[in-house]
Chains A and B, each alone.
Chain A
Amino acid sequence: MRTFLRFAASGVAVGLVLTGCAASDRDGGGTAEETSDGARDTFIFAASADPASLDPAFANDGESFRVGRQIFEGLVGTEPGTPDPAPLLAESWETSEDGLQYTFQLKEGVKFHDGTDFDADAVCFNFERWNNFTGVLQSESLSYYWQKVNGGFATSDTPSLNGTGKYESCEAPDATTAVINLKSPLPELISALSLPSFSMQSPTALEEYDADGVTGEGDAPVLPEYATAHPTGTGPYVFDSWSPGEQVVLTANEDYWGEVGQVKRIVFSVISDATARRQALQAGDIDGYDLVGPADVDALKEAGFQIVNRDPFNILYLAMNQANPDLADVKVRQAIAHAINKDALVAQTLPEGTEVATNFVPPSVAGWNPDVATYDYDPAKAKALLAEAGKSTLTIDFNYPTNVSRPYMPTPEQVFTAISADLEAVGITVNPVPEPWSPDYLDRMQGTPDHGIHLLGWTGDYNDTYNFVSVFFGAKSNEWGFDNPELFQALADARYQPSAEEQKTAYEEVNAQIMDLLPGVPLAHPVPSLAFKPEIQGYPASPVQDEVYNVITIED
């Protein structure tokens, strides 16, 4: 008995010591590194997952891009707070009349983190690298954006990718001039170059750490040393370490060509659970996190945290499948559009600051048209239109996804409930068809004609109408169930206008045309929110998430 009492007592003692130490350790405010003047210079941001790859050419996910934006820079960046292209490593560029030649004037005196000069040869090295990816590197899970933007590779075993790219060659007439030649016009090239996937990387480091040495053994690509431990760019932060599942650490690039900034160390803490991210902020373990749930915004604000909103760069819509004979009647589609109270929908189910949508592109995208047909909320008109169409007693399937949260659709079930109530109010009988998001829901919407009206959306990659509208209406598809060669042609033509101004006008016309056809109802552009501790100032929120932390300041 005595032995056991001793055992128990020591257990309790250890517990007390632990608790005491924990408390005192944290009261001391800890171990955060401090600069000589006492200001904090470590910024801790919660990521929802590890980056897929530190080599941005092999990445297409938000977490890889978030890290990559700090380490790398591309030829083209964005104007702060907008999706509009702006000079970055290229100070200026010119496009030839036929749209086949782009001449970039490069910034002088820039060096990569390993000391290699950034010059026109480095630019050409990167473009040639992307275009000459072979084998497993051509997998969509790796070189997704090069494939998507360029359309192919120099050579490929897959016929649809073999030599089908628009990129032809790159020349370096002198150190600060890089010339990109295309086989056919690619009007969105400049916008697309602002994507992290097209960041400039050090040719020396790429070769030294075998960046293209993706091994295929075991049926899946294993990334080489470069993409896991040696990313080398020109950006304001240098890679320090990556403990998978735990954190990625970056330190300031003291030789950065631009502003070095107050934040000298960035830690991306991996916290996959959304509630755990919120609690980590509340507990003071992190400085900020992304994709704050709409339900958490008010509570965080009340507790004194800052909520920072990005300008929306997305669209949530209600699609109306015209393969369904009832919905093929434009009067029925108009009736549905008039029946929906978008203002109430946004107020009830979407984050604060969300804008009501009128186009299938957000207002910040060139080509957004303020004068499209808007189908304002008018239940009486909706009833009249249904009567005119002879469909006063209409029953339709309403497909919506369950247990999923997308940036453009945080709570699909709530959106469904709000819209169904509106539709029932004008006499339409709604037959709810809920399905799990992946793969059932997406497969049914995009792979079969077997659906009625449904909820879906899209978040854009870069500032280009084509990047939104062509995804939906570029060709005949199961999702929308209509065949309108005129619209498809108008969209293709708009893409290849000689000047940006003419292109904008052409896209504005396309957007008006779409809203006259009314294949679906654009509902809203939901605002993505970030949350920060009160002392974090100047977070550079960007609609396309071009957010680099050297401009952040941390108050005492």
Chain B
Amino acid sequence: MIRLVLQRIALLVPTLLGLSVLLFLWVRALPGGPATALLGERATPEAVERINRLYGFDQPLLQQYLKYVGQLATGNFGTSTRTNRPVLEEFLNRFPATVELTVLALVIAIGIGIPLGYVAARRQGRLTDHATVVASLIGVTIPVFFLAFLLKWLFAVQLGWFPSAGRQDPSMVATHPTGFYVLDGLLTREWDASWDAIVHLVLPAIALGSIPLAIIARITRASVIEVQNADYVRTARAKGLRRTRLRSRVILRNAMLPVSTTIGLQVGLLLSGAVLTETVFAYPGIGSFLAEAIFNLDYAVLQGFVLIIAVVYALANLAVDVSYGLIDPRMRTR
């Protein structure tokens, strides 16, 4: 098990190096330059040249890349040309917000998706099943930004049940020792701040969780249908295994394997969906910051954030592989 983890971590190194080359070249192939973005209209060519010299954009590509990788090795992801703060600091400032959002989105997706898929499979071919299949199809096909916009328009703007933007009511005075606002309120006993943070999370989390929810429901349904018709299930049933035990220990446990793989893959979907959801809800996480970095051609942030997100994604999938071991005893010995 430990060997597997170490192996996977070692594999991460070449993956990230390759990614860093791709990112580096891709970012520099974008039209325009950061100097133009920084100085705006009416920038004199001398000023552009000075900025390029200052930031090293006039050096040969290979030199720029080696310098970049050298800095990465020391944990230096460069400095945002827009905010003049270190990229890593910007990431760490915003990461808790995105973690809260994606965790809640995932909780919604799993908490509703798995039961839904299971129930549909149990009632295969009946109305509940058809309704679930159609609903999940709609869930997968509705674009995140559209759903986010719709939820916001209805529940925030028209009905006023939820706030339309941000993480915390601006008129609320709250302390934030960890940056995880829901947790902070619990730690500091500012319960109303915790509630306020949760209330701010609900709409974006539903929007963000919709597609993973639909996917998880579909995979669960398919997987449960397949497993419940398997030979070993029939054997177990024939042996007279109690129905609840059969369902929870045999069917569900075996059906969960593909589902847990799917959940791992959803983390990537959630992180990319966060760019749109956070922008619509003006939610100050890494997604909305990334969107602004794109508009402002903030090279360092684009490179740094995508790279760190890739690491997070890889680690999330590693965690899923480890969870296989918990679900499937056979994996533990491999």
* A interface with B by C-beta (< 8 Å): 1-5, 7-8, 11, 18-19, 21-23, 25-26, 30-33, 42, 44, 49-50, 52-53, 136, 139-141, 158, 160, 217-223, 228, 243-247, 265, 267, 269-273, 276-277, 279-280, 282-286, 436, 438-440, 442-443, 446-447, 458, 471
What 8 A-B pairs come out closest when comparing CB atoms? Answer: A220-B79, A245-B284, A283-B164, A439-B32, A8-B115, A267-B170, A271-B282, A32-B171
Q: Is the CB of A439 within 8 A of B36?
A: yes
* B interface with A by C-beta (< 8 Å): 31-33, 36-39, 41-43, 45-47, 50-51, 54-56, 71, 76, 78-86, 90, 93-94, 108, 111-112, 114-116, 118-119, 122, 152-153, 156-157, 160-173, 176, 192, 195-196, 198-199, 202, 244, 247-248, 279-282, 284-285, 288-289, 291-292, 300
| Apart from the given pairs A222-B86, A272-B279, 10 other A-B contacts in the complex at a CB distance below 8 Å | A4-B118, A25-B199, A31-B192, A42-B170, A218-B71, A219-B79, A246-B166, A272-B288, A276-B282, A279-B164
Q: Is the CB of A279 within 8 A of B54?
A: no
Known A25-B195, A25-B196, A218-B78; contact A30-B169, beta-carbon cutoff 8 A:
yes
Within the assembled complex, what's the spacing in Å between the Cα atoms of A23 and B78? Answer: 43
Q: Is the CB of B284 within 8 A of A270?
A: yes
Partner of B39, one of A52, A141, A217, A271: A141
Query: Distance (Å) between the CB of A372 and the closest chain B CB?
Result: 24
Q: Is the CB of A284 within 8 A of B160?
A: yes
| Cβ contacts under 8 Å, B248 to chain A | 3
Partner of A52, one of B83, B108, B114: B83
- Secondary structure call for the B interface: helix
| Cβ contacts under 8 Å, B157 to chain A | 279, 282-283
Q: Is the CB of B55 within 8 A of A220?
A: yes
Partner of B42, one of A4, A217, A286, A446: A446
Query: Distance (Å) between the CB of A42 and the closest chain B CB?
Result: 5
| Cβ contacts under 8 Å, B160 to chain A | 26, 283-284
| Cβ contacts under 8 Å, B76 to chain A | 217-218
| Cβ contacts under 8 Å, B85 to chain A | 222-223, 228, 244
Within the assembled complex, what's the spacing in Å between the Cα atoms of A52 and B166? Answer: 20
Within the assembled complex, what's the spacing in Å between the Cα atoms of A546 and B54? Answer: 32
Within the assembled complex, what's the spacing in Å between the Cα atoms of A370 and B245? Answer: 91
Partner of A220, one of B43, B152, B285, B300: B300
Q: Is the CB of B46 within 8 A of A160?
A: yes
| Cβ contacts under 8 Å, B166 to chain A | 246-247, 269, 271, 285
Task: Supply 10 A–B pairs (Cβ within 8 Å), ascending by A.
Answer: A11-B108, A11-B112, A22-B199, A25-B199, A26-B199, A33-B173, A160-B46, A219-B78, A222-B85, A279-B156
Q: Is the CB of B167 within 8 A of A246?
A: yes
Within the assembled complex, what's the spacing in Å between the Cα atoms of A269 and B200? Answer: 14
